[in-house]
A = this chain, B = another copy of it.
């Protein structure tokens, strides 16, 4: 019965939306993918904050009870700014991801991987340090993971070599790895093969959906049928097809907007 606004730089945030649909089947959702300006992971904090403001303003037009920043890079750079500026609660993916890692680790030796922007921001490093006293965190940018996932090369020799080159030296050095980018779960299997069964892989989607559920408990929303809308800033052309990989099914209707 609640209305949830969700945005991401493109399609990756649909993994978070999928977790929300599963956990909160009665909630209505509005998803915005900023496909005309994707990716955010290579851009500066200033530009990511500007784009994030544009996206949030668009979603506010749909009168949500809560806004989810379903993009790690946007959460890393812009969550504090949005929380200051928006009148509704704002939930990012980093704090929930860090709490999920805290629940999994035994040794306190944790890896986190993400875009160049996410890792450079230090947001995960701070959130993990806050959630796990005495944590030893190895943070690493893996810029080729997103293009690999988007190309669909999620198994095979190229994927294995790229994962080995970025993460091979973490084998045996950590017991938990946070997948700090919504594309990375698509590479989960090959990452697990390279790191071995003793490393737990944590993605933020489920933990973020749980945080949204908690936040919505305090909200008194009138009963209404659940409705799901999808917006993108570039032409939707291949969006439904690519979205299916992240969401589990192709959205029926996708509308283009200028934010």
Q: Which residues of A contact B (CB under 8 A)?
A: 35-38, 42-44, 46-47, 143-144, 146-148, 150-151, 153, 157-158, 161-162, 165, 234-235, 237
Q: Which of B35, B37, B162 contacts A158 (CB 8 A)?
A: B162
* Contact, CB under 8 Å: A147 / B158: no
Q: Which of B42, B46, B235 contacts A44 (CB 8 A)?
A: B235
Chain B residues with Cβ under 8 A from A150's Cβ?
42, 143
Count identical subunits in the complex. Answer: 2
* Contact, CB under 8 Å: B234 / A43: yes
Given the complex of chains A and B, what is the CA–CA distance between A151 and B44 in angstroms? 17
Chain B residues with Cβ under 8 A from A35's Cβ?
43
Instruction: List 22 interface pairs A-B (beta carbons < 8 Å), by A numbering.
Output: A35-B43, A36-B37, A36-B43, A37-B37, A38-B42, A42-B150, A43-B234, A44-B234, A44-B235, A46-B235, A47-B234, A143-B147, A143-B150, A144-B147, A144-B148, A144-B153, A147-B147, A158-B158, A158-B161, A158-B162, A158-B165, A161-B161
Query: In the complex, what residue of chain B is closest to A143 when comparing beta carbons?
Result: B151
Query: In the complex, what residue of chain B is closest to A46 when comparing beta carbons?
Result: B235
Besides the contacts A44-B235, A144-B151, A158-B165, what 19 more A-B pairs have beta carbons closer than 8 Å?
A35-B43, A36-B47, A38-B42, A42-B150, A43-B234, A44-B234, A46-B234, A47-B235, A143-B147, A143-B150, A143-B151, A144-B144, A144-B148, A144-B153, A146-B147, A147-B147, A157-B161, A158-B162, A161-B161
Given the complex of chains A and B, what is the CA–CA distance between A47 and B236 in angstroms? 11
Chain B residues with Cβ under 8 A from A143's Cβ?
147, 150-151
Query: In the complex, what residue of chain B is closest to A142 when comparing beta carbons?
Result: B151
Chain B residues with Cβ under 8 A from A151's Cβ?
143-144
Interface pairs A-B: 3 shortest CB-CB: A44-B235, A147-B147, A36-B47
**Least CB distance, A240 to chain B, in whole angstroms:** 14
Query: In the complex, what residue of chain B is closest to A36 when comparing beta carbons?
Result: B47
Given the complex of chains A and B, what is the CA–CA distance between A235 and B49 in angstroms? 12
